[in-house]
Amino acid sequence: MDNANTFLVNEPLGWLMRKFSIPCVISLLVGALYNIVDQIFIANADYLGSYGNAANTVVFPLTVVALAIAVMIGDGCCAFVSISLGKKETERACHCVGNSVLLTIIGSVILGAIYIIFDDQIITMFGGTVNAETYALSKEYFFYIALGIPFFMFGQAMNPIIRSDGSPRFAMISTLAGAVLNIILDPIFIFAFKWGMMGAAVATVIGQTVTALLAVWYLFQMKAINLRRSSFKLNGGLCAEFLPLGICSFLSQVSLVASMAAVNNMARRYGAVDAVFGLAEYAQIPMAVVGIVMKFFQIVISIVVGMAAGCIPIVGYNIGAGRNDRAKDLFTRLLIAEAFVGVIALLVVELLPRELLGLFGSSNESIYYTAFGVRAFRVYLCMLPFACVNKSAFIYLQSLGRAWASTVLSMIREVIFGVGLTLLLPLFWKLDGVLYSMPVADALTLVASMVVIARVYQQLGCKTGNAVTQP
């Protein structure tokens, strides 16, 4: 058991990156596609249209809250297990996995109950009251999504844990199976059965349940981890060790929720005083469009996070084994790859915004919808390369066990800049200020990231065999 993952310090880094990052990217992309696929089918259903799009945008951040908790547990466990296995501390790794399973189950049931009990207040908080039709569709969609929260969170939390056990391919397949089923069921429920928002949500929950069941099966087949009944005894001290390693993943997701809540409410507030979007029939357009832009951004970030998160088991094991030289080389490769992804994504949004909008039923909408959509894509996402480098730096710090530095950087980007600028800039430029907030936040964060990246290079350059020190 102890030697199951020794290949992580022996095999070429390029091969290891491909082995772990590609399945991780696919897993996260597939996870992102649940909501995106729902929105595509909703947008192309003439009886839902932009009202359904806006409703989907309202509920989307609430699924991200569930994801944030799940990835905090899963990524924290993944990093802890990888470092522990590198140090040959198999027993601690087993207890970490067992505690992670329990925390996920408890947390998911509590969150699902909160969503169902306080649905009116939550929907209102995220801008669902822009008009009566959007509110009704949001409420319908949210109810069924809330019922599936335990299955969604369990599948997402177990995914990185399965990767830490050296099985990134199974992690990918389990997520892919649920997403494919969702894609098959969505058009059946929405177009054939005419179930509307309920149909989209039920298709999603069924897919998430399949992923969760596959994860349960894998827990009994783990290679490097041998779970026993004692592994599932909650240990507060152990939880306090591994959860901080996932706090960056949590903050990167939950702060996105705060940012989206700010964006949704600013779009609603300043749309109401706009000459066009102040009219009742167009009031939902800014929120619907910003939601679509954020969905494309989520695709890009899923690739970026997948590439970085896929490196967590590699980095953690090598740091645990004292191979700082390999960790430094891997960081260089990762930053270059992430910047390349950002440049490609930037070209897509700048050159093909109309085509991207077309996926979400723009042909059925007004010229105002298309015009605002094109501008939103080109302005809101114009600093994508910076966003990609920032995100990869946050996650790499997490994999090194530097939870504090990772957390501070994430807070600066997502809360101070992400939320602060979203609230500040519209005071001067109204709806345009909402669009300017993201690129300005990414540019300012890059300055802080470069300082931390330089520090990490300095520390990883120390004599091989020494561990990376905490900041």
The per-residue pLDDT for range 189-201, each reduced to its tens digit, is: 999 999 999 999 9
- What residue ranges of the chain have pLDDT lower than 50? 1-2, 463-471
Do the Cβ atoms of 234 and 175 come closer than 8 Å? no
pLDDT at 404: 78
Domain extents for the chain? 13-460
Residue 470 confidence (pLDDT): 39
pLDDT in tens, 300-342: 988 998 899 888 888 888 888 888 899 999 999 999 999 999 9
Q: How many C-beta atoms surround the C-beta of residue 11 within 10 A?
A: 12
Asked whether the beta carbons of 198 and 136 are under 8 A apart, the reply is: no
- Is the Cβ–Cβ distance between 30 and 116 less than 8 Å? no
Quote the CA–CA distance of 446 and 452 in Å, as a whole number.
10
Place of tokens 């530095």: 405
Would you state the structure tokens that stand for residue 60, as one six-digit string? 């989307």
Could you tell me how many helices (H) and strands (E) the chain has, helices first?
19, 0
d(CA 223, CA 263): 44
Q: CA–CA separation, 113 vs 149, rounded Å?
A: 9
Distance of alpha carbon 323 from alpha carbon 343, whole angstroms:
31
Would you say the C-alpha torsion 313, 315, 316, 322 has a positive or negative sign?
A: positive
CB 437 within 8 A of CB 425: yes
